[in-house]
Amino acid sequence: MADARLERPLTHRIRADRDPGDIARYESTGGYAALRKALRMTPGDVTGIVKAANLRGRGGAGFPTGLKWSFVAMGSDAPHPKYLVCNADEMEPGTFKDRLLLEGDPHQVLEGMIIAAFAVQADIAYLFLRWAYQLAAQRLRRAIAEAYERGYLGRDIQGSGWSLELHLHVSAGRYMCGEETALLNALEGKRANPRAKPPHPQVSGLWGKPTVVNNVETLCNVPHIVEHGADWYRGLGLGGDAGTKLYGVSGRVRKPGLWELPMGTPMREIVEQHAGGMRDGYRLRAVMPGGASTEFVGPEHLDVAMDFDAVPKVGSRLGTGTMIVLDDRTCPVGMVLNLEHFFAQESCGWCTPCWAGLSWVEKILQDLENGRGDDASLDKLLQHARLLAPGHTYCALAPGAAEPLHSAVQLFRDDFERHVREHRCAWKAG
């Protein structure tokens, strides 16, 4: 019989009712064994094993985790305090993977944070949580208190001579807080505006001190890598990327949901087998592979491997790995309008191409939906997509918003032109 701990390390403890139980239940299934093992290693060895495992960030960018940690100054001359921040501000439409981990196995998140903090010799850790995740907040508060009681947090952890204080910070809101430098500003009590880089947070982050920011899913991988080794972790992936991945599917499929599968699982397998394929009477028209800020790909690309290197070859990004399916009975113009409305209202207003450009994009799309579009509308949308491309804004919010816009105009141009030609949305007209 297959060992779920080795094949589904991130979710094997999560029960159908998502009740995580207490710390005793977590320990009875091997919980905190990896932390005790890590504390017997040097911080450099912990970073080395994560680097060797080829763990890449699961928040969307896919940056190598061990490499990020290695940028933090170490040794007696390193500035202190150092900070470790878990980014749990999950708010992008279609993305719900971190919620499962936070609610279903909060101690796994904490153990990953503590090991990561030890690797960079952080003194203080923050878990920055989306305000709407109230059940997660309740369970995390309990788990943090239990970890302190067991001596996994606080002074002289497990007799190692190293200490760590960990705080839960519930966000006041806004999607912008998920951008790592805007998150740091929010923690400091400032407006959630992004910072110019360099310097990068690993050099000058929270209150000007070295800071590492990692995503929830990223940190949940860390205990398993320490416990089972880099070779085991690399062997879980089906291609060049290592480990497992939480893949999600939303839209008009038979079984929308979330599954832990080997990194590199084909999109077709996820959509047709795990999500059960399209509902009766609906046909798959396109997929956004990595959430609301990734480009649409057509059904001819369903056999692409869902990993960081393969998805860009078909014109999109892996992103968060939570797919949004567009069916043949949903207006693509209306769908993109819904997405661009979200991004426009969540812009922090820090740079003109974002706050002004996204508002114009939303207005043009609204005009198309309401029958007021003209022949110039599509050219204007494509012009905005170019102006919102990477390198024109402080952060990735606007470039991310431009991805579904650009691909939608290209893939569904006939639908956009029909809105102009008929001065209406055919889907609304029935």
The ranges of the chain annotated as CATH 1.20.1440.230 are: 332-429
Count of beta carbons in the 10 Å neighbourhood of residue 419:
26
- What is the architecture of the domain spanning 332-429? Up-down Bundle (1.20)
Q: How far apart are CA 159 and CA 208, in angstroms?
A: 30
Nearest to 118 by CA among 184, 215, 34, 195: 34
| Fold of the 4-236 domain | Rossmann fold (3.40.50)
CATH 3.40.50.11540 placement within the chain: 4-236
Separation between Cα atoms, residue 291 and residue 92, nearest integer Å: 7
Residue 219's identity, in one-letter code, is L
CATH 3.10.20.600 fits 244-325, yes or no: yes
What's the pLDDT at 430? 53
- Local structure of 62: helix, strand or coil: coil
> What tens digit of pLDDT does each residue of 291-335 get?
999 999 999 999 999 999 999 999 999 999 999 999 999 999 999
Find, among 368, 357, 366, the residue nearest to 399 by Cα. Answer: 357
Give the single-character DSSP code of 300: G
Q: Please report the pLDDT score of residue 1 as a whole number.
A: 46
For residues 183 and 133, the answer to whether their CB atoms sit within 8 Å is no
Please give the pLDDT value at position 375. Answer: 86
C-beta of residue 163 within 8 angstroms of C-beta of residue 157: yes
Any residues with CB less than 8 A from the CB of 239 and at least 6 apart, and which?
A: 263, 264, 305, 307, 309, 310
- Residue span(s) of the chain under CATH 3.10.20.600 come to 244-325
User: Residue 174 has what pLDDT?
Assistant: 85
Spatial distance between the Cα atoms of 87 and 57, rounded to a whole number of angstroms: 11
Residue with tokens 């929270």: 206
Strands laid side by side in the 244-250 sheet: 257-262, 244-250, 322-327, 284-288
pLDDT digits (tens, 9 = 90+) for 68-125: 999 999 999 999 999 999 999 999 988 999 999 999 999 999 999 999 999 999 999 9
Which phi and psi angles does 30 have, rounded to 5°? 95, 5
So what's the pLDDT on residue 128?
A: 97
Residue 267 to residue 111: CA distance in whole angstroms = 31
Rounded distance, CA 182 to CA 25, Å? 36
Burial call 270-281: b when 16+ CB within 10 Å, e when fewer:
bbbebbeebeee
Question: Which stretches of the chain score pLDDT less than 50?
Answer: 1
Per-residue model confidence (pLDDT) at position 429: 55
pLDDT of residue 111: 98
